[in-house]
């Protein structure tokens, strides 16, 4: 793993970040010879809308049958039409 002094990192920050993104190799930044931070690349997020919720929900029970019984639905109750 690559190490560099904080002063060098400060002077070349954008170049170092581009190198880390391109190679995927993390860099440890030191102050007075002691490690202070570790700069690592971020994995790109999947921006695809399809399947982004895969595995995040669990179906329990019957999802096809209505919650309210059909006999209680107002639309199925017939009205008497006066002639």
Ranges of each domain in the chain: 1-41
Residue 83 scores a pLDDT above 90: no
Bridge pairing between strands 2-5 and 27-31: parallel
Q: Report which of 37, 44, 43, 23 is spatially closest to residue 15, judged by C-alpha positions.
A: 23
- As to burial, measured by CB atoms within 10 angstroms (0-12 exposed, 13-18 middle, 19+ buried), residue 41 is middle
Work out the average pLDDT over 48-55: 81
Give the pLDDT band of residue 60 (cuts 50, 70, 90).
Answer: confident
Q: Which fold has domain 1-41?
A: YefM-like fold (3.40.1620)
Q: Given pLDDT bands bounded at 50, 70 and 90, which one contains residue 80?
A: low
């Amino acid at each position: 793993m690559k190490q560099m002094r904080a002063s060098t990192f400060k002077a070349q920050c954008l170049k170092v970040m581009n190198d880390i993104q391109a190679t995927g190799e993390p860099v440890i930044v030191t102050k007075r010879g002691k490690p202070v931070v570790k700069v690592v690349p971020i994995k790109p997020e999947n921006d695809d809308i399809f399947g982004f919720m895969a595995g995040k929900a669990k179906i329990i029970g019957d999802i096809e049958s209505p919650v309210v019984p059909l006999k209680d639905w107002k639309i199925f109750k017939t009205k008497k039409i006066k002639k």
